[in-house]
Amino acid sequence: MLQSMEKIPSLFWVSLFLLSSSFSVSLDYSVITPRESLKDGDTLSSSDNVFQLGFFSFDQEEQPQHRFLGLWYKQPFAVVWVANRNNPLYGTSGFLNLSSRGDLKLFDGEHRALWSSSSSKASKTAKNPYLKINCTGNLLLSDEDEVLSWQSFDDPMNTILAGMKLGKNFKTQKEWSLTSWKTMKDPSTGEFTLSLDTRGFPQLILKKKGDPSYSYRLGSWNGLSFTGAPAMGRENSLFDYKFTSSEQEVNYSWTPRRQLVSRLVLNNTGKLQRFIQSKQHQWILANTAPEDECDYYSICGAYAVCGINSKNTASCSCLQGFKPKSGRQWNISRGADGCVHETPTNCGKKDIFVRFPGMKLPDTSWSWYDSRNKMTLEDCRIKCSSNCSCTAYANTDIREGGKGCLLWFGDLVDMREYSSFGQDVYIRMGFAKKEFKGREKVGMVVGSVMSIAVVLVAVFACCRKRILKRYRGENWRKGIEEEELDLPILDIKMISIATDDFSHVNFLGRGGFGPVYKGRLEDGQEIAVKTLSACSGQGVEEFKNEVKLIAKLQHRNLVRLLGCCIQCEERMLIYEYMPNKSLDFFIFDERRSKELDWEKRMNIINGIARGLLYLHQDSRLRIIHRDLKAGNVLLDADMNPKISDFGLAKSFGGDQSESSTKRVVGTYGYMPPEYAIDGHFSVKSDVFSFGVLVLEIITGKTNRGFHHADHDLNLLGHVWKLWIEDREIEVPEENLLKETCNVSEILRCIHVALLCVQQKPEDRPNMASVVLMFGSDGSLPHPKQPGFFTNRNVPDVSSSLSLRSVNEVSITMLQGR
């Protein structure tokens, strides 16, 4: 009995200890210092007790639990930020630690770091660092000197709170964007991203992972709202919107005007949702975007508008003055092929601009804008009128009667009309549309009379055309002979026999001026026959130019002209045949690019550089090519490069090395800014094109067609981003690094290429310096920002056009001076 009584106290204390150990003490901090660690169950609260930081999971019944460190509204509960979204904890052993030097890290139970603030400002000299949440829901890592080393607002997830930014800092390359959750209960990275696209005039866009196009475009900022977000107009009484655009940074943010609690969420299905907290402390869904089917990107194609019909589905229609591009494929409810001008524009015939009110402004990816907002609408009209490639204009800011200038280049896509929203856009139209408007009755009377006259004119024209054919051909031949070019003029019958009567089997492709055929002369020599199509409106003068220039040039890295054929209206150039086609045939094809190891690519780069040096410096005339691109570099049997296609080249005599033109020619994506915008060209124009080409050879990607999941930069911008982040090792095509040990040579080529594509022509090296840089190991100057990198103050001319050899075509733009 005594022994039993003696055992009771010991059993009591053991039981009490076990009971107490089954409970953990949860702490709620207002500030965390290096002396404390935030454990699972603990929380860090804002001073107003609205926001909390702590550990959470979505399904308490799961074992082991997926635990996340997150920031949330306390009441009603709503997660706004997650630290370890892609790296969950298992169980409740995780903890957040702040070191004395200012490093903030999340560890699991085995002391493995799952997340870190990666503070670039953290150092051993940090004075008493601390972590707190301010009243806006921003998690701040600072010290006693108020030096901010990290904040959660700089690392947004799927939610924008009041005061947060969306945008980009061009100096630091920091971007603020939203990324959706994978599912409603899985905060890992989802498929959708909301960001500011800074190509051209900045616009807010929604993209889906893996899709090179946009899913939804909220549009550009007009001083009051984004032009494709009517809900913002309805919210103007509730929120103040702020849009900042400068050389350093562009960003968008919002703040409530009243004591209003709100959050903007990009959900897992790609919907942007505005939630507002009611007085009963419930989250109320205020609006959602996209609102309807017409909000989705460009479902009606170019020059068309989308509207919601009586069946509550999308219906496409052409703008006034436009007609369906494809009558067969155009559908009353859908028209993805878009529309074309009923009366073609003609820059030399005083095109007019027609006002379309209440519009969602077209996609501004390929646009130019007045960054200072100083230009008037009339200034804008004059500037657009003077450039034949300008398709429309509008004010950048609609406040105070309108100010600033925005110009579009290329087709206008993703438009819709609003009854009480949107803004005015002025679209270029053919002059005849206005001239004959309202004269249909007169046309009917005149038409019957004119029909007889047309028949008579047609008979006369037919006879005249036969005479002119022979006359033009004789003049062409005479002109070539007078030039004393020592160039054989071949008979068309000989060319016809050589190409088997221009058989489809011998068809090599289509150049800028017409089809190209392979042939074999009687002596067995293989040739390439470049024909000038009768439909090619741009090719006559270029054909003459090419004959005159290339006949006088002789260099191992220039294609050799063997002769020409001029008979009636038939005009052909006969070149040596290149069995390996053009450079773009290899470098832009994932399978064929593997045939070009680094040694071959370096040989190609050096060959192109030597060819350009000859044109700029060593030939009898100084020649600017003006259309250097991968499609115009041919490869012989040994993969030696030959620069071709001199139809757009310009020759200089004496000491002249630069000029200007109203007629801008070349290929979008390779043109330097000073040429594409102002028509100024020089030997440095070719240097810019060469730099673009070198980067394409190294990466295997096209500049104008480049897409990246993490940003909207072109190839130049992508390489520049990696360069300033000291990540240039990520630039080359992956298989190059696996196959070569000469990594330093690849990195040197990237460095030289960036020097060649600098914004200002005076900063670019000449080709003599480039050749020297490739042949030596000396130090190189640090490159400055490339041209057409952010595309903010110049029109990004890397827009999509008809293709000429791997989706690129030489274009012509007339510019008023």
Phi, psi of 104 (to 5 degrees): -110, 120
* Angle of CA points 188, 192, 198, to nearest 5°: 125
751: helix, strand or coil = helix
CA torsion through residues 802, 805, 806, 810, sign: negative
Please report, for residues 147, 168, 237, 708, 755, the alpha-carbon distance to residue 718 in angstroms, rounded to integers and kept in the order given: 31, 14, 40, 8, 15
Structure tokens at 459: 């008979």
Distance CA 373, CA 401 (A): 13
CB within 8 Å of 472: residues ≥ 6 apart: 568, 569
Read out DSSP for 20-38?
HHTS----EES-B-TT-EE
Paired tokens of 374: 């100083």
For residue 27 the two structure tokens come to: 């702490």
The distance from CA 429 to its chain's CA centroid, rounded to whole angstroms, is 27
519 touches 527 (CB < 8 A): yes
CA distance 609 to 573: 25
| Residue pair 671/624 in contact by the 8 Å Cβ criterion | no
Strand (E) or helix (H) holding 683: helix 683-699
Among candidate residues 505, 298, 516, 285, the one with its CA nearest the CA of residue 412? 298
The catalytic residues are 627
Q: Which residues pair with 247 in a beta bridge?
A: none
Beta strands 113-116; 51-56: pairing state: unpaired
Burial class (CB in 10 A: 0-12, 13-18, 19+), 261: middle
- Tell me how far apart the alpha carbons of residues 341 and 392 are, in angstroms, rounded to a whole number: 13
d(CA 497, CA 524): 12
* Close Cβ partners of 292 (under 8 Å, ≥ 6 residues apart): 308, 312, 314
Q: Give the 3-state DSSP-derived string for 298-313, with helices as H, strands as E and coil as C.
A: CCCCCCEEEEECCCCC
The CA distance from 516 to 508, in Å, is: 5
Instruction: Decide if 215 contacts 206 (C-beta within 8 A).
Output: yes
Alpha carbons within 13 angstroms on the beta-carbon side of residue 259 total 1
Q: Which two tokens stand for residue 135?
A: 């009243």
The total number of residues written for the chain in this structure:
817
726-755 per-residue burial string, b: 16 or more CB within 10 A, e: under 16: eebeebbbeebeeebeeeeebbbbbbbbbb
CA 557 from chain center: how many Å?
A: 32
Spatial neighbors of 67 by CB under 8 A, at least 6 apart, are 40, 55, 56, 57, 88, 89, 90, 91, 92, 94
Report yes or no: 624 and 617 within 8 Å, Cβ to Cβ: no
